Amino acid sequence: MRLFWLVTLGGCGLSVLATLLVERFLATRIAIVGSAIGLVRSFNRGVAFGITLHPDIQIFLIAIALFAVFWMAFRAKQNPLAQVGFGLIIGGGIANIFDRVQDGFVTDFVQVGSFPIFNIADSCITVGVVLLLLEALTSEKARKKKR
């Protein structure tokens, strides 16, 4: 489980640091690839993809989801890919909670086309989910091969 904790702390730390830097230094949009990709500070009061619910319901759902992922992480067979996936999801989730608790919203800053603006924590969560799906698919293939 050492890899899990390392990835959790690293993902959370990087996400929190990036948000602090954006809040301190990013006053206007920085173009990376013209108008297609850039850094622009945005405040998200909602949850995934800007969906907004009553604040009490949002906090409750976020807490339930984080608890569920922790529970799955400790019950699952822990190969390195699963440890990294769970660590990224939990690290990103904790970072977004830290950000939200301060002022009621999450600071997003990565703009890619017309996709909703996101942050490093959101990226950690997304990559973590993709890794867990990949791990599930490869584990299933290995089980079928053994039969």
| Every domain of the chain and the residues it spans | 2-23+47-104+120-141
Catalytic residue among 56, 99, 103, 122: 122
Known catalytic membership, residue 99 = no
Residues 6+ apart with CB under 8 A from 109: 18, 19, 22, 26, 39, 40, 41, 42, 117, 119
**Average pLDDT along the chain:** 92
- Region 8-33: mean pLDDT is 97
Catalytic residue among 56, 99, 103, 108: 108
* Whether residue 141 has pLDDT greater than 80: no
- Predicted pLDDT of residue 20: 97
What is the tens place of the pLDDT at every residue in 94-116?
Answer: 999 999 988 889 999 999 999 99
Label residue 22 by pLDDT band (50, 70, 90). Answer: very high
* Whether residue 117 has pLDDT greater than 70: yes
- Region 19-24: mean pLDDT is 97
- pTM attached to this predicted model: 0.90
Known catalytic membership, residue 56 = no
